């Protein structure tokens, strides 16, 4: 069975006005779909029923890795947002953030600044490295899975994620993501699986 584009976990206009329907329809329906289509062309029948994590970890550097990883990253990214998201995490995740960053405010600033200033295309992440939470960033398609880290949350900072709505103002997109879209329940669920 070929890899397929997962549906968005909300309607394509559900994140408006922070991310428009046009952005989601192009980002999901065109960009993400293209990664899935190219991945299937590259892996063919060899990877029938393969787990995406295994395909990412076993992929040859270049197009096979890039398309597999971008399929993984985008599938994860959609779930990192929710209509009426934002606010602050609760429970174990809030406690872990306070322990490893000092405060939610310090953590938010580090994630915000990392996403806003990453040079070029890539991703900002909250990860668990096996002993603690960390804010990291990766370029192009690279992802925590390849570095032995467990992803809890990501922000897509490729221009295609925000250019329609924010033009070149990536910091405004990052602020809107953290203020209005971030899905802390999903990050907390990921922490419970570490
Ligand atoms: Fe993207």
**What distances in angstroms separate CA 36 from CA 29, 115, 116, 173, 176, one per listed residue?**
10, 25, 27, 25, 28
17-44: pLDDT as tens digits: 999 999 999 999 999 999 999 999 998 8
Shared domain check, 70 and 115: no
Segments of the chain scoring below 70 in pLDDT: 1, 45-49
CA of 104 to the centre of ligand 1 (A): 26
**Domain residues for 179?**
91-192
Number of domains, the chain: 2
The alpha carbon of 90 and the centre of ligand 1 are apart by a number of angstroms equal to 28
* pLDDT recorded at residue 46: 67
Gap from CA of 181 to ligand 1 centroid (Å): 16
Do both 42 and 102 map to the same domain?
A: no
Residue 57: inside a domain: yes
Q: Does one domain contain both 117 and 43?
A: no
- CA of residue 57 to ligand 1 center, whole Å: 20
Q: Does residue 14 lie within any of the structural domains? A: no
Q: How far is the CA of 95 from the centre of ligand 1 (A)?
A: 30
CA of 185 to the centre of ligand 1 (A): 21
Pair (96, 75) in one structural domain: no
Q: Looking at 79, 112, 129, which one is the last position of a domain?
A: 79
Q: Which two tokens stand for residue 80?
A: 């990192």
What pLDDT shows up at residue 75? 98
Dist. CA 159 → ligand 1 center (Å): 8
Distance 138 CA to ligand 1 centre (A): 13
Q: What is the CATH number of the domain that holds 164?
A: 3.55.40.20
Query: Are residue 108 and residue 182 in the same domain, yes or no?
Result: yes
C-alpha of residue 119 to centroid of ligand 1, in Å = 15
**Span from the CA of 74 to the centroid of ligand 1 (angstroms):** 6
pLDDT of residue 44: 82
Evaluate whether 42 touches 143 at the Cβ level (below 8 Å): no
In the listed set 79, 104, 128, which residue is the last one of a domain according to the structure? Answer: 79
- CB atoms closer than 10 angstroms to residue 22: 13
Classify residue 4: in a domain, yes or no: no
102 CA → ligand 1 middle, Å = 31
For residue 99, report the distance from its CA to the centre of ligand 1, in Å. Answer: 31
Q: Is residue 162 part of a domain?
A: yes
* pLDDT of 1: 63
Nearest one of 65, 80, 68 to 8, comparing CA atoms = 80
Instruction: Looking at the structure, tell me whether residues 181 and 96 fall in a common domain.
Output: yes
**109 lies in the same domain as 176:** yes
Query: In whole angstroms, what separates CA 91 from the centre of its chain?
Result: 22
> Which pLDDT belongs to residue 50?
78
The CATH number for 37's domain is 1.10.287.990
- Domain assignment present for residue 11? The answer is no
Altogether, the residues listed in the chain come to a count of 194
Looking at the fold, whether 57 and 110 belong to one and the same domain comes out as: no
- Same structural domain for residues 69 and 109? no
- 50 - beta bridge partners? none
């Amino acid at each position: 069975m070929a890899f397929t584009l997962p549906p968005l976990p909300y309607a394509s206009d559900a994140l408006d006005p922070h991310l428009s329907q046009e952005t989601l329809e192009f980002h999901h329906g065109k960009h993400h779909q293209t990664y899935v289509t190219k991945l299937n062309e590259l892996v063919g029948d060899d990877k029938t029923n393969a787990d995406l994590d295994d395909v990412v970890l076993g992929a040859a550097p270049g197009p096979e890795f890039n398309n597999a990883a971008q399929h993984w990253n985008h599938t994860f990214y959609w779930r990192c947002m929710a209509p009426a998201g934002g606010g602050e995490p609760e429970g174990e995740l809030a406690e872990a953030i306070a322990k490893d960053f000092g405060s939610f405010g310090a953590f938010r600033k580090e994630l915000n600044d990392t996403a806003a200033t990453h040079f070029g295309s890539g991703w900002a992440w909250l990860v668990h490295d096996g002993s603690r939470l960390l804010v990291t960033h990766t370029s192009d398609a690279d992802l925590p899975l390849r570095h032995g880290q467990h992803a809890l949350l990501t922000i897509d900072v490729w221009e295609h994620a925000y250019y329609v709505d924010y033009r070149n103002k990536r910091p405004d997109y990052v602020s809107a993501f953290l203020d209005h879209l971030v899905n802390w329940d999903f990050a907390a669920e990921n922490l419970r699986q570490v």
